[in-house]
With several copies, the nearest count.
Chain A
Amino acid sequence: MRLLTQDPLDLAALIADVASPERGGTCAFLGAVRDHHADRAVLELEYSAYGPMAEAAMADIVAETERRWPVRVAVAHRLGRLAVGDAAVAVAAAGAHRDEAFAACRHVIEELKRRVPIWKRERYADGTEAWVDPTAAGAAR
């Protein structure tokens, strides 16, 4: 599965990518579009990315995570227009044991949010739109 895609995310494909007979524990994370953000009703949103840098950063995160824990990890982020409930990001991490699977999966999503140049513009029920700024006061996590 590609790191960035306009198509719906396929978590089963990511899990299959990291599966192997010696890896008994797989932890996965799915981030979906919520119907609210900072108390405003969200109708839909649009993700955009700085493609070459985002793909390089995601590849770096995968490589770093696989060096730090004995795991295989896979990650994909969707771009374009998404509706409430659509998955925007998917991560899968598989290891022999669940400790490293959970730790690696969590690490990938934290680093992705911290380092990967992706932006989202939300459209609200009241007709307004806004770029989401997680660093702004009062912003939701």
Chain B
Amino acid sequence: SRRISFSMDSRSSATVLLFARYAELVGAEQVQVRVAPGSDVRDVLQGLRAGHPGAAELPDAPLCAVNHRQARLDDAVRPGDVVAFLPPLAGG
């Protein structure tokens, strides 16, 4: 039911989605993080921490996804991408 909205700076930033406990820690379900050329998911996590103190409690290597597919921390991120950080899965 969450709607993914894009801010004005989507040409220079990635949308970061946060779920469950991570959304509580950060205090938001969605934020924008600037991505420089050559960025990867780890850089986006660093950018998230820089702008959101609550993100300090995220683990160094959380599960992550880029554009709705599971990803690794060294996968590339380009402006306009949707990056997600995922707490330990608990489905089923």
Contacts and interface: CB of A to CB of B under 8 A. Distances in A.
B92 A113 contact: yes
A49 B84 CA distance: 12
B17 interface: yes
A115 interface: yes
Interface of B: 1-2, 17, 19-21, 63, 65, 68-70, 84, 86-92
Consensus secondary structure, chain A interface: mixed
Contacts, number: 76
Given A48-B19, A119-B20, A131 B87 contact: yes
Nearest to A88: B92
Minimum-distance CB pairs A-B, first 6: A118-B91, A119-B20, A113-B92, A53-B68, A132-B90, A52-B68
Interface of A: 31, 47-54, 56-57, 77, 88-89, 109, 112-121, 131-136
A100 to B, nearest CB: 16
